[in-house]
Amino acid sequence: MSKTLSRRDFLKQSAKFGVASTVMMSSLASFCSAANAQPQHQGGDYKALVCILLAGGADSFNLLVPADNVGYQEYAKTRADLALSKSQLLSLNAGENNGRTLGIHPNLTEVQSLYNTGDLAFLANVGTLVKPTTTQELANNTAVFPYGLHSHSDQIDQWQSSLPDVRSGTGWGGRLADIMHSQNADQTLSMNMTLAGNNLFQSGVTASQYQLDARGSGAIDLLSYEDGDDLSRLSSNAIQSMYGDNYQNIFRRAYVKAFNSSISANAKVSQAIGASAAFGTQFGEDEFSRELLMVARAISAANTLGMKRQTFFIEYGGWDHHDDVLKNMAKMVPVLSKGMASLHSAMTEIGMENNVTTFTASDFGRTLTSNGKGSDHGWGGNHMIMGGAVKGGKVYGQYPSLAINNPLDTGRGVLLPTTSTDSYFAELALWLGVKPEQLGSVLPNISRFYDSGSAGGPVGFMG
Amino acid sequence: MSDNTDFTQRRRRLFDVLPEAMLGCSLLLASYASGAATTSGNLAPAILQDKEQQEKLIVGPNPRCKLGNKIDEEDPCSDESEDEECVPKWICQPDEDEDEDEGEDEDEGEDEDEGEDEDEAEDEDEGEDEGGSNTGSAIGVCQNPHPEPNKTVFNVSSEQANQASRFLNHATLGANYATITQVTTMGEAAWVESQFKLPVGKHLPYSECLLAAYMAFDNFEKADAVFGDPVEFRRFSWWTQVMTAPDLLRQRVGMALSEIFVVSDKVGQLGDELEPLPGYYDMLLTNSFGNFRDLLFDVTMHPTMGVYLSHLNNAKANVQKGIYPDENYAREVMQLFSIGLFELNLDGSRKKDGQNHDIPTYNNDTIRQFAKVFTGLSYSGPEAVFGDNDEEGYVYFTQPMKMFDEHHDVTAKTLLNGQTLKAGQKGIDDINGAIDNLFNHPNVGPFIGRLLIQRLVTSNPSPEYIARVSAAFNGTNETPRGDMKSVIRAILSDPEAQSAKANKLREPFLRIVQLYRAFNATSSDRTYNNEGYEIQEHINQFALSSPSVFNFFQPDFAPNGELKDAKMVAPEFQLVNSATVIGVKNYLHFTLLGEEVFATPQHFAPVWFDLSYETALAGDANKLIDHLDSVLTYGTLTPNSRAAIYTAITGVSDAKKRVLLGIYLMMVSPDYAAAL
């Protein structure tokens, strides 16, 4: 290769030979020792949560749908032109809940088999709640509503913070990492990894987040010169000097910190993931699947990275279907279903299926009624939890009546949630190993919904 | 918004083929230069081979050039016969005559600075496009109408240069040293006034011109190889206008507005068609120096926004059918575009109720009332109908949406502050009433004022600064409420903007833009046709490509650590992560040290920096660093960084390499990353 590493070489290299190029980082990242890849982790004490954020507010009453005659008629009447046809719905073994028999969206084929084999559960009508709220309070106009209900930015934040009564700078995954990060061997690399950039879910008081790149070996390689030629040495020395300085200005200091931690983290991650073995599972070519594959690779490198507890954050956006909800969902639901199944299959390959739990989140459910083209911003919605540790094959929570003006209907089929995000997430946090007495620091409002001294879990899907 | 998987896929595909395509470039260039515009299929950017997709792209949206290369009869440039090929005429539209140019403009009669020299421009054009039209050569076809920049460098002190440079970093997307010294000589206030008078450097005409040139080819594969994918033309226009249009201040403000009134190519239709995004951007540019009330009205009525926030084809309620008005635009126009969530004081602080709580500006019922206002709108155009008409027929993205009163909700509406719209009004009267209601809310000055200060100057303006800008927004005896010129003057001339107290992290994208602008990136055909995907891969940012209506970053974002502890915000840090920090550096590295030219389709002249001024200084490393410090960091380079850069560049003897290394180190330094 010529003296300068050109852009095209760089691109190729980062795509194909990620490991090799980490060597070039040594001039800047002094810690970058050539650690030998550890044998791949087979379960053991490792646990990870994978959050799939269906950004935009998925119309999840078209994901989990009443399939019994009475329930379906109610559904069809309310949803009008947004209703799926009854014959298309996929059936669930043991799909009964709250007097309904539930089916699922016709494109959730893989989810159907995961459910039927017990590796996936649904949670019905979950959403942001300030405190337990009754239909009586709703009727009396004494119900306390979340801040900015129906607003994307507020609700997408509250699903990540689980604090619907304040604006929070931290998310529950971040607060969880504040407590649990000390269990990981490497204290310099964040246990919270994201494929969707900085996010509230993984922001803690001290915990930060590490951005994985779906391409290459997970980390962006630092472009530098080979061979230690003069220009390389000169520029590296200058950069080291500048990024080793203690700046007076707070913005510059903050940038220096971000830069340095990025360089060191990238070197480690790139090496570990680059050394991980390939999966037999075929992931799709779409971006969501590529990101899931990178999560799978990072989990398989977890041991090398000294991780015992992790969270991953993936965003699959584009669910804000004010228009063409049926058509758009028919395109997006298969991607979701196939992607989730690929992740589960890859985890099974490396013996980690019981150590990784994947769950969905979304800004809100959507209005049951139509705006003529699609649905608008709602409140409660239905979600999925996947993994070997999940007590799957069951719909948890209470599937609501979909009749217009039923007691939970706050107008236009916007449903008061019957399970809070706090209960949903507490179940996951306890599984990951948060002690009951620590639950309040992860989910500050949890005591309003759940007595952490009680024997059973807040919802029950993790046992 | 719906996700745009196709676009993402295509972008991915492009990214994947890029290295190979680039290897083949010299070959293509050679064969092109010899007159044989042939391309071997494998290296023709395999970007868009899907014919159907392509035809849809071209047939649908462009009122000027229909498939078949005919000139639209209304083309103001057309004095050729109808049968001739649709010859690109960017040169026909140097200054835009909005009132006559029907296909172009989006708002009803406004603008004072019109009525210019269409004819002259056309004459020039005659001779040139003959040779060009068949080969599709951009030189002489889409000829850049903007004057060559004035390269005069005046002798100024470094203090003067630093001051002008800081000012220009607020007021432009990047300025070279010549402009810095010219502003020093002219005075900042006078420069601002002169900028106010310049015509709008619109982005759509060049996109249209390129499309017409593209269409002159009989074969799309060939055309793709020569011009690139038409999906990218709006990005070519963005660069070309930003690099060459003289209305520097307007281009800066327009970019800022595009990060407040967000639309994005992440929504399929907007990214896949030629007109929606540059048409919308031009509307923002046009309104940048107008009145905020018109801006808000034009944003509301623009079909691009109608698609993005789904109030286009939004029908009145049909209770029997269980159909209700779409609430999306109603919410965002309040939350993001005008008043925000809480009642504000003039200085941007939140008003409090008796219990010391914030006071919400609106509730869900307000949203439902406003949702009724924004019903009945659809595309305008000869064949436009209300409903699902975007598959067929002509629709305009360059004209405001049309009100179809039979689909408008005529019930009474209660708006903000108890103001009502009476039942039975015409749809457009309701919309005007609602825009007036929003525009006159006392929050608009502090809310929009703070956002603009954050985009242009500093992340944490003092309450006093916000109050001064709010007062300018609110108007005086001489200036009306909402006068954008007054707001811009107040923001740029504020004492707080002229000191190192004004701190912000630079947007990664604007770091890249400034590189090209500050160091005189030029090409012999004066086009800058880079699609920007590669930049975007590295830094997660490009104009009009935000992931959501909340922009690339939110105004109150604060990263963990010192900044958050100090209760300061730093919105741009939302784009900073372990990938982009390295990405910015890598991009600068391969550009400056790898000397990789700004990638453009092979048909166009290569782009490279004009570093003659810097190279002349290179013999004296201190002088070179002083100069770079003035241009990029306005004298705030720390002694440590200066020493580090000095040591590095004095290790290189070749003048050009020394300059490139100096620029590289300056631009990756923490000193430059955060503007003081």
- Structure tokens that stand for B320 in this block: 């029997």
pLDDT of A43: 59
Lowest mean pLDDT among A130-134, A391-395, B115-119, B366-370: B115-119
State pLDDT tens for residues B648-669: 999 999 999 999 999 999 999 9
Residue B181 has pLDDT above 70, yes or no: yes
Q: What is the mean pLDDT of residues B464-483?
A: 97
Residue B102 has pLDDT above 70, yes or no: no
- B514 burial via Cβ count (<10 Å: 0-12, 13-18, 19+): buried
Residue A33 has pLDDT above 50, yes or no: no
Q: Residue B450 — φ and ψ, nearest 5°? A: -65, -45
Residue B589 has pLDDT above 60, yes or no: yes
Q: How far is A7 from chain B (nearest CA, A)?
A: 6
State pLDDT tens for residues A392-431: 999 999 999 999 999 999 989 999 999 999 999 999 999 9
B602 lies in some domain: yes
What's the one-letter identity of residue A434? V
**C-alpha distances out from residue B494 to B189, B442, B445, B468, B472, Å:** 11, 22, 16, 8, 11
End residue of a domain, out of B413, B439, B465: B439
A202 Cβ under 8 Å from any chain B Cβ: no
Same domain? B419 vs B324:
yes
d(CA B546, CA B536): 11
Tally A–B CB contacts below 8 A. 262
B639 lies in some domain: yes
Residue A38 has pLDDT above 90, yes or no: no
Query: Number of helices and strands (H, E) in chain A?
Result: 13, 12
- Strongest mean pLDDT among A259-263, B339-343, B551-555: B339-343
pLDDT of B401: 96
Alpha-helix runs per DSSP H in B276-394: 276-287, 292-301, 303-308, 328-335, 364-373
**Yes or no, beta carbons of A286 and B9 under 8 Å apart:** yes
Average pLDDT, chain A: 87
Same domain? B513 vs B406:
no
Same domain? B434 vs B509:
no
DSSP conformation class of B150: P
Is residue A14 within 8 Å of residue A215, measured between CB atoms? yes
Same domain? B526 vs B666:
yes
What's the one-letter identity of residue A332? M
Lowest mean pLDDT among A307-321, A412-426, B250-264, B304-318: B304-318
State pLDDT tens for residues A203-221: 887 777 888 888 777 776 6
Identify the closest residue of chain A to B569 by CA–CA distance: A251
Same domain? B661 vs B538:
yes
Residue A147 has pLDDT above 80, yes or no: no
Same domain? B512 vs B425:
no
Buried b (16+ CB within 10 A) or exposed e, B368-378: bbbbbbbbbbb
B556 lies in some domain: yes
Pick from B75, B41, B144: nearest CA to B529 = B144
B240 lies in some domain: no
Q: What is the mean pLDDT of residues B525-547?
A: 89
Q: What is the mean pLDDT of residues B451-465?
A: 98
Same domain? B426 vs B525:
no
Lowest mean pLDDT among A417-421, B15-19, B355-359: B15-19
Q: How confident is the model at residue B11 (pLDDT cuts 50, 70, 90)?
A: very low
B359 Cβ under 8 Å from any chain A Cβ: no
Best residue in A314, A371, A373, A375 for a mutation probing chain B (most B CBs within 10 Å): A371
Residue A318 has pLDDT above 60, yes or no: yes
B222 Cβ under 8 Å from any chain A Cβ: no
Higher model confidence: residue B382 or residue B515?
B515
Residue B119 has pLDDT above 70, yes or no: no
End residue of a domain, out of B423, B439, B455: B439
Residue A149 has pLDDT above 80, yes or no: yes
pLDDT of B384: 81
Ramachandran sector of residue B58 (left: φ over 0; alpha: ψ -120 to 50; beta: rest): alpha
Residue B107 has pLDDT above 80, yes or no: no
Q: How far is A46 from chain B (nearest CA, A)?
A: 24
pLDDT of B580: 86
In chain A the domains, ranked by start, together with CATH numbers, are 34-221+266-448 (3.40.720)
B569 lies in some domain: yes
Tell me which residue in B579, B644, B645 faces A211 most closely, judged by beta carbons.
B579
Same domain? B429 vs B557:
no
What is the percent of chain B where pLDDT is above 70?
78
Same domain? B531 vs B668:
yes
B355 lies in some domain: yes
Residue A333 has pLDDT above 70, yes or no: yes
Q: What is the mean pLDDT of residues B155-175?
A: 97
d(CA B110, CA B98): 9
Q: What is the mean pLDDT of residues A332-360?
A: 98
Pick from B482, B411, B397, B403: nearest CA to B448 = B482
Q: How far is B485 from chain A (nearest CA, A)?
A: 30
d(CA B82, CA B139): 23
Give the range of the structural domain holding residue B575, as residue numbers without chain letter. 505-675
End residue of a domain, out of B414, B439, B464: B439
**Yes or no, beta carbons of B578 and A412 under 8 Å apart:** no
Q: What is the mean pLDDT of residues B275-283?
A: 96
Residue A432: helix, strand or coil by DSSP? helix
Q: What is the mean pLDDT of residues B1-18?
A: 30
pLDDT of B167: 98
Higher model confidence: residue A200 or residue A134?
A134
Identify the closest residue of chain A to B559 by CA–CA distance: A254
Chain A positions in Cβ-Cβ contact with residue B4 (cut-off 8 Å) = 318
pLDDT of B60: 25
d(CA A45, CA B367): 50
Higher model confidence: residue B271 or residue A378?
A378
Chain A positions in Cβ-Cβ contact with residue B335 (cut-off 8 Å) = 151, 153
- Domains of chain B: total: 2
Q: Is the dihedral of CA A372, A374, A377, A382 positive or negative?
A: positive
Best residue in A166, A230, A239, A255 for a mutation probing chain B (most B CBs within 10 Å): A255
Q: How confident is the model at residue B13 (pLDDT cuts 50, 70, 90)?
A: very low
A223 Cβ under 8 Å from any chain B Cβ: yes
Same domain? B517 vs B656:
yes
Same domain? B396 vs B520:
no
Chain A positions in Cβ-Cβ contact with residue B5 (cut-off 8 Å) = 286-287, 318, 331-332, 335
State pLDDT tens for residues B538-585: 888 999 998 778 888 989 988 888 999 999 999 999 888 878 888 899
Q: What is the ipTM of this complex?
A: 0.82
Residue B230: helix, strand or coil by DSSP? helix
d(CA A252, CA B229): 40
Same domain? B514 vs B422:
no
B504 Cβ under 8 Å from any chain A Cβ: yes
Average pLDDT, chain B: 80
B310 lies in some domain: yes
Q: Chain B 266-305, CB below 8 Å of chain A: which residues?
A: 266
pLDDT of A229: 67
B113 lies in some domain: no
Residue B476 has pLDDT above 50, yes or no: yes
d(CA A375, CA B108): 33
Alpha-helix runs per DSSP H in A250-324: 250-274, 287-300
Residue B97 has pLDDT above 70, yes or no: no
Is residue B505 within 8 Å of residue B459, measured between CB atoms? yes
Q: What is the mean pLDDT of residues A103-117?
A: 98
